[in-house]
Amino acid sequence: MMDKYSLLHKIGIYASLALFILFMLLPFVEMFVASLRPIDHLFSRPKLEVGETMGFVDFMSRFWSDKMSFQAYRDMWVTVPQLPRYIFNSVFIASAVTLLSMCFIVPAAYAYARFNFRGKTTSLTLFLAVNMFSGAVLLIPLYKLLRSYGLLNTYWAMIIPGVAFLIPTGIWLLKSFLEKIPYELEEAAFVDGASRLYTLRRVILPLAVPGLIVVGVAMFIGAYAQQFLFAITFNQNRDYMPLPAGIFEFIGYQTVLWNEMMAASLVGVLPVLLIFLFMQKHLISGLTSGAVKE
Amino acid sequence: MSSLLQMLKPKTKSQTTTMFAWALIAPAALVMFWIVLWPLYETFRLSFTNSNLGTLMGGADFVGWENYEKAIGGRKFPAIVTRTFYWMFLSVGFKMILGLIGATLLASNIRGRGIMRALVMPPWIVPIAIGCFGWVWLYNGHFGLLSNFIEMVGITDGPFSFLAYKQSAFYSAVVTDVWIGTPMVTLFFLAAMQGVPKDLYEAAYVDGASRWYRFRRITLPQIMPTIVSMALLSAIWTFNSFEIIWILTEGGPRGATTTLIIDTFKTAIFSYKFGAGATRAVLVVLILGVFSVIYLTVLGRLTKKYNYGGVQK
């Protein structure tokens, strides 16, 4: 009864949510519409007579015309032949970053969730303080570091910094999941004579699967999102370029092929959108089931 | 691993625990030393040299405080710092308010909320660079949706390029930054709201408390820890926000969107003045460090003084 709303209240909630979602989706709608419009239609303003002001019909004419088609989705592969490679690179780099970072995150998060030990609070605070140093602040020494290892212009140049800057957030997220697994289970395993590592592998990890999925997806999204800066500074090799950097090839000397660029962007984000669609139930319910509670 | 621990022969149980815990943390900690702490030290060292493209791998001269004097004494520096803080407060403020409103709406018990929760997430999921392309096109003066729209409504009587003028470029960048940052804030506020014990609301409801009163006196105080930590994290990320401004305006027009981080990138990577760039990077870290300490101290005081009203668990 407490959660019952009056009709007016309901309309208010839906209307506000509609506005909120409109703001969040507007650029994507515009990208999609742009990708359907032929380039000459894209670069045409609604036709106005001299002295006439733009009306609603003129405005809406940008949203549909007989010439609209999915042609850009075919042409983009010709304009930028490397496009499939860029999309693959994006997915590959993000997957590698996710897998590698999880190898560091899982043991550390387990230690912070389960044990009381000297230096716990201090080291945890230090991990979180890493958030203060974005990649952009450390670019020069990172460049030197990668160069001295001969890693510039390789996949590693984008994977290594990606992993490093995701670890703190990952530890923080996973720790709060692991804290919710009842300690009694582990004690039972200890009593039965199981070693710590055995307990971690056979008792904790299976129970932690939902948490691992949430953190893994969050890491993948983060890794997919952060590629741009490292890609434009540490990598000149077009074979290893991820999509956000490669997409600049649609910007030519004469014109920008906006429709193909938008089409390529939308196709390029499909992998991460699909993962999100399949995982969103787990992700949202996992995050909202009290993960952030102290 | 266990044989290693036996070799080290810990004397008490707590020592075993400490060693085991540190063994688990060590790999992550080593990565941090290698990729974050060492570069941080190196940045600090570089900031006192005149390192440039020719002397990147060694041989730069030590110049003492010269870079710092030049950076802080620079004609544009005060304006850039002010702009960066204005950018941060404005953007974080909107993210917090929108996030709070969004989370409250999405937490309400209505049909279709599962789908709507998913629909607000794309700006966070999609790579920042790609979301920004969408905005670049939206802001386009001749062909962009926004310019066409305000022309139709009658606010302007011709094309308006949002990114071409100092004021509008700055606020356009803020809008895009808010757009990218809001979904995550919303999600974490929503998570915190789900964690508030239901019986608190029921008790208040039985006592006849209005919805607004329940929000103010139960929800807000209960999720305050999340708001406090999200605001700080968000402030740090916004302060350091690079890609959005870089793709929209590259810091222009005429420096109107140049924040400290853009200035750092331009100096270091575009002008190859690594020493001077490193100086700016150190200043960014210092400013953020001081800001975080002040923020946490002030909040600690405020929490003690007012105890944030409400119900304690």
Residue-wise pLDDT tens digits, B225-256: 888 888 888 888 898 888 899 888 888 788 88
Interface of A with B in 175-194 (CB under 8 A): none
Which ipTM did the prediction report? 0.82
Q: What is the pLDDT of residue A50?
A: 58
For B152-177, b where at least 16 C-beta lie within 10 A, e where not — what string? beeeeeeebbbbeeeebbbebbbbbb
Distance from CA of A1 to the nearest CA of B (A): 10
Each residue of A103-113: pLDDT tens digit?
999 999 988 88
Q: What is the pLDDT of residue A53?
A: 67
Highest averaged pLDDT of the listed ranges A131-135, A186-190, B163-167, B244-248: B244-248
Measure the CA–CA gap between A65 and A281, rounded to whole angstroms. 38
Taking the domains of chain B in order of start, what are their residue ranges?
Answer: 73-306
Distance from CA of A282 to the nearest CA of B (A): 11
**Best residue in B2, B4, B34, B36 to probe A by mutation, most A CBs within 10 Å?**
B36
Measure the CA–CA gap between B264 and A136, rounded to whole angstroms. 8
Q: What is the pLDDT of residue A21?
A: 93
Q: Is the pLDDT of residue B310 over 70?
A: no
CATH architecture type of domain B73-306: Orthogonal Bundle (1.10)
Distance from CA of B71 to the nearest CA of A (A): 16
Q: Please tell me if residue A105 touches chain B, with a CB cutoff of 8 Å.
A: yes
CATH architecture type of domain A82-288: Orthogonal Bundle (1.10)
- Band of residue A2 on the pLDDT scale cut at 50, 70, 90: low
Q: Which residue has the tokens 């690079």?
A: B242
CB contact under 8 A, B127 and A243: yes
Q: Which residues of A touch B101 (CB under 8 A)?
A: 16, 20
Comparing C-alpha atoms, which of A204, A108, A115 is closest to residue B14?
A115
Measure the CA–CA gap between A288 and B190, rounded to whole angstroms. 6
Of the partner residues B101, B119, B188, the one whose CB lies closest to the CB of residue A25: B119
CB contact under 8 A, A16 and B34: no
Question: What backbone phi and psi angles, to 5 degrees, belong to A256?
Answer: -100, 125
CB contact under 8 A, B21 and A291: no
Measure the CA–CA gap between B300 and B306, rounded to whole angstroms. 10
Higher pLDDT among residues B4 and A198, named by residue: A198
Q: Answer yes or no: pTM beyond 0.80.
A: yes
Task: Note whether B236 and B292 are within 8 A (CB).
Answer: yes
The residue-averaged pLDDT of B83-103 equals 94
Task: Note whether A218 and A146 are within 8 A (CB).
Answer: no
Distance from CA of A193 to the nearest CA of B (A): 14
Q: B295 vs A166, B83, B177, B229, CA distance in Å?
A: 24, 19, 22, 10
Q: Which residues of B touch A105 (CB under 8 A)?
A: 28
- Band of residue B48 on the pLDDT scale cut at 50, 70, 90: confident
Q: Which residues of A touch B32 (CB under 8 A)?
A: 126-127, 130, 164, 167-168
Each residue of B155-195: pLDDT tens digit?
777 777 888 888 889 999 999 999 999 998 998 888 888 87
Q: What is the pLDDT of residue A1?
A: 53
CB contact under 8 A, A147 and B154: no
Interaxial angle between packed helices A7-36 and B77-107, expressed in degrees from 0 to 180 and rounded to the nearest 10: 120
- CA A115 to chain CA centroid, nearest Å: 31
Please, what is the average pLDDT of chain B?
A: 83
CB pairs under 8 A between A and B: 294
Each residue of B10-29: pLDDT tens digit?
456 677 788 888 888 889 98
Measure the CA–CA gap between A180 and A114, rounded to whole angstroms. 10
The two structure tokens encoding residue A278: 């399949």
